[in-house]
Amino acid sequence: MRSQYILRTFLFVVFFSVGAAALSSSILCGDLLQYYHNKQLLKAAEDSLNRLESLNTDYDVLLQQLQKDPNLIKRIAPATLGIEQEGEDTIYPKVTPEQLDAARKALTEDSR
């Protein structure tokens, strides 16, 4: 008789533990999904913030260069706005995006 009580107690503990684990996991599942979703949103916001900070530093460098050389506007405006320059005796080369990126990197490295 005593072994029967021990077996019942053991089975009760096993089944109760399995049920409690299933119930707690079903309750926490929504919270875990929300946690990982918020973590992903935080990562996206940090990436956006880093990009904006990078743009701010680029613009700060450009503003410093404009303060040093006011004629810089006349030189970079046509390339930035895509306006054809007027000069009958001069040929202006077309600039590729790769060349612009290389120039931007060189300018930012020079200012740091």
Residues 64 and 79 in one domain: no
Residues 54 and 4 in one domain: yes
Residue ranges making up the domain that contains 87: 73-112
Residues 22 and 62 in one domain: yes
Residues 50 and 30 in one domain: yes
Taking only the tens place, the pLDDT of each residue in 2-42 is: 888 999 999 999 999 999 999 998 889 989 899 999 999 99
DSSP conformation class of 59: H
Is the whole-model pTM more than 0.95?
A: no
Taking only the tens place, the pLDDT of each residue in 62-107 is: 889 888 887 887 777 777 777 766 666 667 677 788 888 888 888 8
DSSP string covering 41-91:
HHHHHHHHHHHHHHHHHHHHHHHHHHHH-TTHHHHHHHHHHTPPP--TT--
Name the amino acid, one letter, at 53: E
Residues 14 and 50 in one domain: yes
* Domains: count for the chain: 2
Residues 50 and 99 in one domain: no
